[in-house]
Structure 1
Amino acid sequence: MAAKFARAVIVGATTPLGKELAEQLNAATHMAWDLVLLDGDAAGQVTAAGDEALVVQPITADGFDGADIIFFATESSLTREHWKAAVGKGAGIVDLSGALTAEDGALLLTPLLYNSLDLAANVTTTAHPAAWMLARTLSGLPTNAAVTATVLLPASIHGAAAMDELHAQTVALLSFQSMPSEIFGGQSAFTLRDAFGEGAKANFAAQEQQVNLDLQRLGKALSIELQAVQAPVFHGVTASLFIDAPVGFDLDAWLKSLPSDEIQVLTGDEEVSNQSANGQSTILVRTKLATGSRKGVWLWLAADNLQAAARNALFNAEKLLQLRPSSTVQ
């Protein structure tokens, strides 16, 4: 049977997000993807792409030639440096870095926020994984419900360098040695933080701002107060939410409606954590009714941030391809 065929370029192919994206593209059953892998310092590295070994090439305008879709899964600075050259090649752009959020004509596109009339755009951005997790879980709530959320972000949100530094800090602290702090601007291992130290290369404030901005656009009129916290974990985004249900709202019915293909509600001793969410395609949820005088419910959420970002990027690419003539491969 003939399958749809498209050529995709991944900028940032050796980042954790780029690797996850390549895996999902290769696992796609209804689309055959011809992959070109680009990166900066990792140019020349050989990496697996499904059953095929590919050489990572440097990021140049020539690397965008012939692409149907170009994914930016790299640092925001590299996205800003190269995205206009990618647009000039006529490709559809999917930005996973958050760098193009404020660009004119860039469309935030997710299964939660999709209008076929918007497909005149050829530059799309994916929602921050934490914002997508919250907005997907809270869909169906009335607009007068008040939600308070604390989101715990993993090191992988900031890329491979942050993961490496968290590992190095952990080893250094356990062996009573001095620890590196270039990425976090201070200690992150064994520590919960709501801000990074001066001179940190990772921008925590920008992450929190991105979650709030995307959540406002995805959650529409919901009233959500949110604080982000940096957690000393490598993967998996988690969140603690309190939903203050308005008078007359059937909270029990809403809770019963939560389970879906994308949301798994767990009970009893079943684990809901960043660790148990890793490798899962669903949002894990545990609920607990409020015990005080307020009518409401606590939700504890966990999701694989890399999987969520890659799945949303693949959705964007498929919608962009609807605008483009496609070939088939046997």
Structure 2
Amino acid sequence: MTKPKWLLLGGETLLGKEIRELVEEGKLPVTLSLASAHPDDIVLAPGEEDLLVMQPLDKNTIEDADVVLLAGTMEAHKRALALAHALPQRPAIVDAVCDFEDLPESVLRAPILEKEPVVAQEYSIHGLAHPAAIALARLMSLLHTQRPLRSSVVTILEPASERGKEGVDELHQQTLTLFNFQQMPRKLFDAQVSFNLLPRLGAEAQVSLEVAEHRIERHLASLLGPLAVPLPSMRVVQAPVFHGYCLNIWLEFESRPSVDEISGWLKDAGLDVRGADLEPGSNMGVAGQSGITVSDIVEDRGNARGIWLWLALDNMRTRAETALLTAGLLSRKEAR
């Protein structure tokens, strides 16, 4: 049987690296090739341990692929999409960073939450749901099934790696310059992120926490809407960490279950639930781990229906796993 051919754009990015590692670790029965944003030459891109051989992004490269995974720059993604549109038989497109979610042919994907096959047009773009939206949707849908929710409030602590290698590098350089009493770089965030918590970034920032909030809200509405789960109120806060999301969550139930009941329901669903005898979930603790860690489940002393809990997940691992699950489903569909 011929192995499906997957083409990864952005193999040198943080997300691309995570996808490559998961394919290798899982020994997935696919042929994974890398493509650069350049149309003419084979590119040797620096990886962490060796050079990555990246094929030129041209018609032949796209035409040879069964699935194209977009994990690079917007410029490269636009070129890949234009090349795919010009082909009589297009490859399936997995938009791992949701660059094209506003296009009418884009369909939101979160395979871990999909109980029925997704109905999509033949040449749809499969955009991945935000990792925080996937985690919240999974948690809230599980609990709502057991005991109806009335309302919820979520504070999302966002890591620098959500801005790619540039975000990680700027946080690192800010930390170094602070210790050396030098002027810190602010090109990306236009604010001091190191040793700081921020509800918004600087006026000249290349990124925006508000954009992240709106994206998570949109994705949650799509994931939870069909289940009639009340949508949470939320804020995204920039955290001075490199990797991993942490979420502080308040849930109001119609009738509050016990902490033991909540822990049991989540454990039965396969979540990593940490009791008081274990270390709490943290962005460091979930690094390189799959799934969701929930800890510090406590009753709200000021509200008889309220529960507080803490949730942590690896943002890059969640995105990469969602990308591979989506690509696998599309490959299976193509093989039929």
In the superposition, the TM-score normalised over structure 1's length comes to 0.88
Q: Which residue of the partner structure matches residue 133 of structure 1?
A: 135
Q: Which residue of the partner structure matches residue 194 of structure 1?
A: 199
Give 1:81 deviation, angstroms.
4.3
For residues 258 and 71 of structure 1, the distance between their equivalents in structure 2, rounded to whole angstroms, comes to 32
Q: Which residue of the partner structure matches residue 98 of structure 1?
A: 98
2:125 to 112, 123, 126: 123
Q: Which residue of the partner structure matches residue 259 of structure 1?
A: 267
Residue type at the aligned position of 2:36? D
In the superposition, the TM-score normalised over structure 2's length comes to 0.87
Q: Which residue of the partner structure matches residue 317 of structure 1?
A: 327
Residue type at the aligned position of 2:101? T
Give 1:54 deviation, angstroms.
4.3
Residue type at the aligned position of 1:118? V
For residues 206 and 324 of structure 1, the distance between their equivalents in structure 2, rounded to whole angstroms, comes to 34
1:275-320: CA deviations, max 9, x gaps? 0010111211011122223322111000111110011111111111
For residues 117 and 104 of structure 1, the distance between their equivalents in structure 2, rounded to whole angstroms, comes to 16
Q: Is the 8 A contact 2:12 2:46 kept in 1?
A: no
Q: How does 1:262-301 map to 2 (within 5 A)?
A: 262-268=270-276, 269-286=278-295, 287-301=297-311
Bigger shift: residues 252-261 or 125-134: 252-261
Q: What percent identity do the matched residue pairs reach?
A: 29
Q: Which residue of the partner structure matches residue 305 of structure 1?
A: 315
Give 1:82 deviation, angstroms.
3.1
Bigger shift: residues 133-142 or 183-192: 133-142
> 1:8 aligns to what SS in structure 2?
strand
Q: Is the 8 A contact 1:48 1:54 kept in 2?
A: no
Change in CA separation of 1:173 and 1:240 when aligned onto 2, cut-off 3 Å: same
Give 1:68 deviation, angstroms.
0.7
The CA RMSD measured in Å over matched residues stands at 2.5
Q: Which residue of the partner structure matches residue 112 of structure 1?
A: 113
Give 1:28 deviation, angstroms.
2.9
1:237-270: CA deviations, max 9, x gaps? 1100000111376775344210156410001242
Segments ≥4 residues shifted beyond 4 Å = 46-49, 248-252
Change in CA separation of 1:11 and 1:202 when aligned onto 2, cut-off 3 Å: same
Give 1:5 deviation, angstroms.
1.2
Residue type at the aligned position of 2:293? L
2:82 to 81, 84, 88: 84
Consecutive unaligned residues in structure 2, runs of 5 or more: none
Consecutive unaligned residues in structure 1, runs of 5 or more: none
Q: Is the 8 A contact 1:14 1:39 kept in 2?
A: no
For residues 309 and 256 of structure 1, the distance between their equivalents in structure 2, rounded to whole angstroms, comes to 27
